[in-house]
């Protein structure tokens, strides 16, 4: 689409050849935290925010955050898919086919909007000699198929440029968002092509409220479900987890743009 081509050209003019796309959805505070975390801890890869929000006021606010923090922002066409996992896959497909393909980067990938780097990371260095990098999921019992978790997956473009990548779920095969790439890409890869990162549980108790979150490789803190998870969406816990992220990893309130949830 013309909008994707124009945005790809804008990214190309930045001079970067490695891009991480974060898909925003209705939750401005996580975008504020993600950009700050990326600026503090990540090197070698340019963050891009692509907005799939269904709430127009959230889109306006997220665009303002990106403008203030000088991060590239693109508003996706309205996505009518109601299922959050399918909506995510549809958005990833749109980005790949309309932005990544014409951009032709060296490396590209996707990061959940509420998955924050909290220690120094260099994904391009991690991917040296690899085709993909991410959190490997599966296979399910009795099956061979596996996929990279859609919230943290990175690719060498030269290995996928000729492929019809498909990030949609394959629920009937036991695979969530990203499962469509098993038949397209993952079943062709050997172990030496894959850089896998482990997920571990991060148990928190904030003001007496207990909740499980995730860490990836000890370097990314994943809130999980910030846009739809019942507990995280409550104003009380949303404030608690937002304050925890800023105070623990991002240096406190200094420079924080979103303080009201």
Q: What is the DSSP string of 219-242?
A: TEEE---TTT-HHHHSHHHHHHHH
d(C-alpha 23, C-alpha 25), whole Å: 7
CATH number of the domain that 46 lies in?
3.90.550.10
DSSP for 139-204, written as a single string? PPTT----EEEEEEEEEEHHHHTTS------BGGGTB-TTTTHHHHTGGG--GGGEEE--EEEEEE
User: What is the SS3 assignment for 208?
Assistant: coil
Beta partners for residue 18, in sequence order: 107
pLDDT digit string, tens, across residues 122-144: 999 999 999 999 999 988 777 88
Q: Report the pLDDT value the prediction gives residue 83, as an integer from 0 to 100.
A: 81
Nearest to 64 by CA among 92, 31, 111, 95: 31
* Domain annotation covers residue 103: yes
Domain span at residue 159 reads 2-197
pLDDT in tens, 40-57: 999 999 999 999 999 999
**What is the tens place of the pLDDT at every residue in 57-116?**
999 999 999 999 999 999 999 877 778 888 899 999 999 999 999 999 999 999 999 999
Instruction: Note whether residue 225 is domain-resident.
Output: no
In a domain, 220, yes or no: no
User: 126 in a domain, yes or no?
Assistant: yes
Look at residue 59 and tell me if it is in a domain.
Answer: yes
47, part of any domain: yes
Dist CA 74 CA 97 (whole Å): 15
Confidence of residue 260 (pLDDT cuts 50, 70, 90): confident
With respect to residue 249, please indicate whether it lies within any of the assigned structural domains: no
Let me know if residue 247 belongs to a domain.
no
What pLDDT was estimated at residue 230?
74
Count of structural domains, the chain:
1
pLDDT of residue 63: 98
The pLDDT of residue 151: 95
For residue range 156-212, list pLDDT tens digits in order. Answer: 999 999 999 999 999 888 889 999 999 999 999 999 999 999 999 999 999 998 888
């Amino acid at each position: 689409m013309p909008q994707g081509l124009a945005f790809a050209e804008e990214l190309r003019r930045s001079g970067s050849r490695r891009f991480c796309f974060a898909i925003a959805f209705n939750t401005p505070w996580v975008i504020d935290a993600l950009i700050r975390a990326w600026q503090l801890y990540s090197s070698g890869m340019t963050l891009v925010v692509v907005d799939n929000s269904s709430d127009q006021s959230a889109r306006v606010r997220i665009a303002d955050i990106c403008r203030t923090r000088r991060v590239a922002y693109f508003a996706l066409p309205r996505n009518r898919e109601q299922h959050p996992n399918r909506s995510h896959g549809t958005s990833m497909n749109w980005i790949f086919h309309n932005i990544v393909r014409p951009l032709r980067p060296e490396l590209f990938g996707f990061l959940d909007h509420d998955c924050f780097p909290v220690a120094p990371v260099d994904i391009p260095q991690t991917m040296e000699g690899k085709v993909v990098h991410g959190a490997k999921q599966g296979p399910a019992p009795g099956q061979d198929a596996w996929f990279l978790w859609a919230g943290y997956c990175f690719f060498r473009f030269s290995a996928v440029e000729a492929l019809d990548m498909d990030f949609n779920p394959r629920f009937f095969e036991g695979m969530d968002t990203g499962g469509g790439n098993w038949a397209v890409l993952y079943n062709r890869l050997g172990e030496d092509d894959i850089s896998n990162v482990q997920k571990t549980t991060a148990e928190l108790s904030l003001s007496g409220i207990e909740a499980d979150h995730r860490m990836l490789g000890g370097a990314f803190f994943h809130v999980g479900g910030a846009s739809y998870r019942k507990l995280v969406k409550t104003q009380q816990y949303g404030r608690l987890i937002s304050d925890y992220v800023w105070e623990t990893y991002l240096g406190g309130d200094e420079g924080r743009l979103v303080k009201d949830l």
